[in-house]
């Protein structure tokens, strides 16, 4: 059974554009090789961190949405933990939207309840 996942990870701010593309491509191909589907990547850009992480005050935020069965998460997080370019990561399991209903409509329905 395939679930929707959203992963946000923060890269070191001192990486060049080329190194950022290499890191994003590396993690994208990592989960694609392990069976993840519908992979969407969004580069959120360099932003100020709320608190220092590994002595960095800024970070490059990358959001990755994908569908997978869940067996890809632990190896991906291990690869990020061992890599030097990622300073923080978090994976969330996202509830699937009912077909024909937009995200704004479900939020409005939740507020009414």
Q: Is 90 helix (H, G, I), strand (E, B) or coil?
A: strand
Q: Considering the entire predicted model, what is its pTM?
A: 0.81
Q: What is the distance between the alpha carbons of residues 70 and 33, in angstroms, rounded to a whole number?
A: 14
pLDDT digits (tens, 9 = 90+) for 60-71: 999 999 999 988
Indicate the helix (H) or strand (E) that contains 23. helix 17-33
Band of pLDDT at residue 104, cut at 50, 70 and 90: low
The conformation of residue 109, written as its DSSP 8-state character, comes to: H
Q: Is the pLDDT of residue 51 over 70?
A: yes
Indicate the helix (H) or strand (E) that contains 77. helix 73-82
Q: Would strands 86-94 and 3-11 be described as parallel, antiparallel, or unpaired?
A: antiparallel
Q: Which CATH superfamily is domain 3-112 in?
A: Ribosomal protein S6/Translation elongation factor EF1B (3.30.70.60)
Per the prediction, the chain carries an average pLDDT of: 87
């Amino acid at each position: 059974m395939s679930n929707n996942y959203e992963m946000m990870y923060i890269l070191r701010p001192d990486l060049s554009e080329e190194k950022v593309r290499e890191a994003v491509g590396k993690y994208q191909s990592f989960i694609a090789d392990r069976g993840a589907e519908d992979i969407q990547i969004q580069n959120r850009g360099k932003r100020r961190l709320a608190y220092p992480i590994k002595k960095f005050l800024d970070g490059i935020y990358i959001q990755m949405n994908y569908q997978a069965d869940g067996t890809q998460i632990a190896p991906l997080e291990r690869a990020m933990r061992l890599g030097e370019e990622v300073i923080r990561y978090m994976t969330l399991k996202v509830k699937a939207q009912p077909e024909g209903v937009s995200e704004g409509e479900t939020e409005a329905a939740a507020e009414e309840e």
